[in-house]
Amino acid sequence: MMAGLPRLERLTDDQRASVIAEYLAGTSCEDLAKKYGYSAPQLARYVRLKAPAGQYRGANRSAVTDEQAKQAIAMLKQGLKRKEIAYNLDISVGVLYRAIKRHEAESVMQAGRPRHETIALVADGIRRGLSHRDIARQLGIAQSTVKKNYYKAALALLSDTQKPVLPAPKPKPTVTARLKLSSEPLPFGHAIPVNAMWRGLERWRSAGA
């Protein structure tokens, strides 16, 4: 091997092979370093060189199996917090979050339910007075996903659909139109005949002057 490359000299060939096998099975470099007595950066360099192409996922990110992701989703639906779930599954909170997001995205794709349909279903649950937990349980996703990804959009959808449609204002009829609508004579003292009478008197006076 070339000089300068990490070799984990204190380990046997079988132990070095075990390091790679455990890493590929999901153990983080940090945990492997503690187990075999090396620093995390040193062991990470070794794993990065020895892991098959495309399978190095970083030094501090443990892989989460599909079964663990399903367990995490079930715990979320039961009301456990992410820190508690991460502790129970022995993974970091960040790894847990990414695994849940990936699992839910795959579940939605498998169900053939586009985002706008999920928003509509969440909006329907809100309209019926269901809690975040009940909505999440019905849709088969985590409560946190309902809150962060769909709830605001569902409220906006409800706001748009519940706005009352106001009728267009009717145009006010003109004086002429009002006169045409009624065949009854105008009442005594009405402004129209009185004004017409005064205009006639003024013209008569002007003509006689």
Answer whether 104's CB lies under 8 Å from 145's CB. Answer: yes
112-to-66, 122, 157 alpha-carbon distances in Å: 19, 16, 21
Q: Distance between CA 107 and CA 73 in Å, rounded? A: 11
What are the C-alpha distances in Å from 61 to residues 38, 95, 149? 17, 6, 24
Q: Which pLDDT score is estimated for 61?
A: 56
Q: What is the pLDDT of residue 3?
A: 43
Total residue length of the chain:
209
Handedness of CA 77, 82, 86, 88 (dihedral sign): negative
* pLDDT reported for residue 1: 40
Is residue 91 within 8 A of residue 30, CB to CB? The reply is no
The predicted pLDDT at position 146 comes to 83
**Crossing angle (nearest 10°) for helices 82-89 and 66-77:** 140
Element (H, E) at 31: helix 29-36
pLDDT of residue 67: 77
**Amino acid at residue number 65:** T
Please say whether the dihedral angle defined by the alpha carbons of residues 39, 45, 48 and 51, taken in this order, is positive or negative: negative
CB 107 within 8 A of CB 74: no
The low-confidence residues of the chain, meaning pLDDT below 50, are 1-4, 165
How many angstroms separate the CA atoms of 91 and 118, rounded?
29
Give backbone dihedrals phi and psi of 7, rounded to 5 degrees, phi first. -125, -10
